[in-house]
Structure formats: structure tokens, C-alpha cells
Amino acid sequence: MRCGFVILNYNSYNMTIKLAKKVAEFDKIEKVVIIDNQSTDNSFEHLIDINHPKIKLIKSDKNGGYSYGNNIGIRYLCNIGMDIAFISNPDVDIDEKDINLIINGFERTDYSVLSAVELDINGNVARPPIYLLSSYWDDLADCFFISRKIKKLSKKTEIDKTTDIQKVELVKGSFFGVRLKDFAEVDYFDDEFFLFCEERTLGKKMKNADKQIGILTRAVYHHNHSASINKTYKCVKSQIKILYRSRQIYHKKYLKTGTVLNTMMSIAMKISLFEYGIKDFIGKIRNNGKDVHG
């Protein structure tokens, strides 16, 4: 089973170089593909200096976002005969033993997508450990502060340590492995999504194709959550605005919602963005106060 590794870089060349050089030394990783997504910090000039026979650098023709950029690397691995592709954010760290556990999972099962348990930078299991495919009504409730809190408190899905592979509906987009023949069958990532909702879209397409997604409960990876995104989008409101745009596309394209439901969602999202704007403003005042008082 031939395995490759894709890292999508945007203004994060230090993290990308560190991760690429590490995984290039793993015995079972034949090729590491770095896609520079039209970075604005001279990333490409730094990345081109990497001198390693297993690392391939490709410059995207445009910054088309997560889906577009990763699809370039995935198609490259397909064209050179890889069977498995690992897709990873630059702000991820994983050890060889955990990669091998996932590869072994692919070899002995027919799972199409496999990942590991996500740990935060302190080594704790990231919350929530498992995401489920969200309905329209889940996303509508997520627009409001109170219903978000209630939903968070009521979420009971946990890692099942009694099983080797836990079947799930989707994995987190920060890191996972995918069987390339199955990925090709569902037409890879949907390029219409610039950022956010890529994992739920993939989960939905895999579910519709009767393909399985799982988490290796004994494998882990560390994630400095959203380090790349936070570097680009400084305020929460700007990130949420992109998230909501992606959700609207998902509702129309994959949940087939009609005009009335889409209008309800649009109104709820506008109210929510106003709320996040207030939170950003309060946070800015607090941070300025800290700066002033040392």
C-alpha cells in the first residue's frame, strides 16, 4: 500500500517545513506534497529551498481555499500511483507510530477515511472528540448564544476506547487519511468551499456512497488549533462569516433546502454576526486595557 502526505501552506512556511521534513522520514510515506496556496509572505521562496528527494513543492495557480488547494496535491498523488493520502494542516504534529496504526487500519479493513484522536497543544483530547453530521436545524440553533451553550452541554459523543476503530460520520479536516480510489469515486473535495465545512461535505458524500469513516482510538495527533486561520483572520467575526457562507452552500447543495429555510438561516446568521462583532469589540477593549496596564 503506497502512501503520500499532503500539506496545504498559506503564509505558514515555518510550520509547513517542520512537518514536511518530519513525515518525509517516515518509512511508509513515499511522497510529501506541499501545495503553496498563493501565499503573500514569500512562503514559496522559503519552501523551494527544501532539499529532500521525497518532498514535492507545487504552487497553486490561485488561492482557491482548502478544498481547491488540497485537491491539487491529492490528484498529484493519484497520478503517481499512491493508494492512501494523508491530508494535514501545517499546525499538526504526528508521530510515525500513529501514522503506521492508521495505515494498518486501511490494510485490514475497507474503511475509506481514517483519522486519529485529536489532542490539543497541552496533550488533552480536543473537544468535542467526535463531530457528527449537522442538520439544518443544528446549524440554525448554532447561530444563537443560548442554544450553542445548551447544545455544547448536551453533547455526549465520546471516544469509545473498547473498540480499535470507532465508526463516525466525519473526521476533523485538520488531519486524516483517505483511500484514494474511494476519494476519486466521490469526486474529491468540493472546490466551491473556500474554508470550513469541507469535512462535513466529504462525510456527506461518503455516506451517500455507502463508504465508511472511522477513528483509530489508539492513534493520536496534536493540533495547534486554527493557528494558520487565526494568523490570517484576526477577528472571530471574519472567520464566522466565512463559516456561515460555507454552511449556506452546504444547505442548498447537499441538504436541498428551499427558499423559506434559506431565508430563515440568512436572518439568523446576520443576527449571529452582529453578536460576534460585539464580542470582538469587547475583546479588543480588554486586550488594549492589558497593553496599557502592562
Residues 238, 154: one domain? no
CB 215 within 8 Å of CB 132:
no
Considering 175, 193, 225, which residue would you say is the last residue of a domain? 225
Residues 220, 236: one domain? no
Considering 225, 248, 282, which residue would you say is the last residue of a domain? 225
Considering 225, 259, 274, which residue would you say is the last residue of a domain? 225
Residues 22, 144: one domain? yes
Report whether pLDDT(153) > 70: no
What is the average pLDDT across 282-292?
A: 65
Instruction: Tell if the pTM clears 0.85, that is, is over it.
Output: yes
Residues 76, 160: one domain? yes
List the beta bridge partners of residue 36.
9, 59
* Domain tally, the chain: 2
Residues 33, 112: one domain? yes
Give the model confidence (pLDDT) of 109-149 as tens digits: 999 999 999 999 889 999 888 888 999 999 999 999 888 87
Residues 179, 217: one domain? yes
Residues 281, 158: one domain? no
Q: What is the C-alpha R_g of the chain? A: 19
**ω into residue 128 within 30 of 0, thus cis?**
yes
Going by C-beta distance under 8 Å and a sequence separation of 6 or more, which residues neighbour residue 165? Answer: 105, 109, 111, 114, 214, 215, 216, 217
What is the average pLDDT across 225-234?
A: 55
Report whether pLDDT(291) > 80: no
Give the model confidence (pLDDT) of 24-70 as tens digits: 999 999 999 999 999 999 999 999 999 899 999 999 999 999 999 99
Give the model confidence (pLDDT) of 241-271 as tens digits: 999 999 999 999 999 999 999 999 999 999 9
Residues 262, 156: one domain? no
Residues 221, 251: one domain? no
Report whether pLDDT(180) > 70: yes
Residues 201, 248: one domain? no
Report whether pLDDT(294) > 50: no
The CATH number of whichever domain residue 7 belongs to comes to 3.90.550.10
Domain that holds residue 258: 231-293
What is the average pLDDT across 222-228?
A: 74
Residues 219, 236: one domain? no
Mean pLDDT of the chain: 91
Residues 14, 149: one domain? yes
Of residues 13 and 154, the one with the higher pLDDT is 13
